Amino acid sequence: MNITDFTRSLNSHRTAQAFLGVAADQELTASIKPNANIRLIAKDCRTAGQDLHGLLKRMADDRSLEPHESAYFGWISKTRSLLRKLGVGEIQMNVPLAGSWMGTALTGACDLLVHGGPKAIGVVEIKTILRGEQTHPRSRDLVQLASYTSLAEQEFGVSAWASLAYCHFETRTVRIFVFRRSDRLLAPIQRQLEIAA
């Protein structure tokens, strides 16, 4: 099952309840300097998210940015800078992962698989917020992050750290929520799946 489908298959009310009281170990925030192309950011969140993730996939190549891509560059750049502050070295984009979690075969591609930081490897998911700011991680995002983290731990055979990076377009900020121990994300979902079984 695809991780997005898995996330949607869970009861949203129960998921929100499962993560009550689960707080990030660390938060980092940075401001984005305005540039002339910011006006080219898409007006709907889905398109803006697709554009941002499209640019993310391109970060390893040397081609010049299109004007609409440069509108999103500040958020990608600041996210990378904040990850470097956490001690991250290598950053891999759009990394495919597969495995089994709680008896369900899962597949997907995490936004970033990072080497270094609080532990040897980490999983980072990037989310777009068109208006306002996300001051706490959304439970559906935590489910997705927990799923990718579980698969990364299976693949690499080590405990991983995890992070959600929210790119706020209206306020021109990036806010990163860091979870140094994956069990803080995995345990609430495991309990929810056990109850539902």
Percent of the chain having pLDDT more than 90? Answer: 56
Residue numbers of the domain that contains 115: 3-196
What are the structure tokens assigned to 65, written together? 């940015």
The residue-averaged pLDDT of 57-70 equals 79
Per residue in 176-193, pLDDT tens? Answer: 999 999 988 888 877 766
- What pLDDT, on a 0 to 100 scale, did the predictor assign at position 92? 94
Strand ranges, E, within 2-80: 26-31
Distance spanning both ends of the chain, measured CA to CA? 17
Find, among 120, 104, 149, 135, the residue nearest to 5 by Cα. Answer: 104
Contact status, residue 52 vs residue 32, Cβ threshold 8 Å: no
Contact status, residue 121 vs residue 158, Cβ threshold 8 Å: yes
Q: What is the pTM of this model?
A: 0.92
Per residue in 40-51, pLDDT tens? Answer: 888 888 888 898
Min mean pLDDT across 3-7, 20-24, 60-64, 120-124 is at: 60-64
Instruction: Identify the CATH number of the domain in which residue 173 sits.
Output: 3.90.320
The set of residues, in sequence order, having a beta carbon less than 8 Å from that of 194 and lying 6+ positions away, is 102
If one counts every other C-beta atom within 10 angstroms of the C-beta of residue 58, the result is 15
Total number of domains in the chain: 1
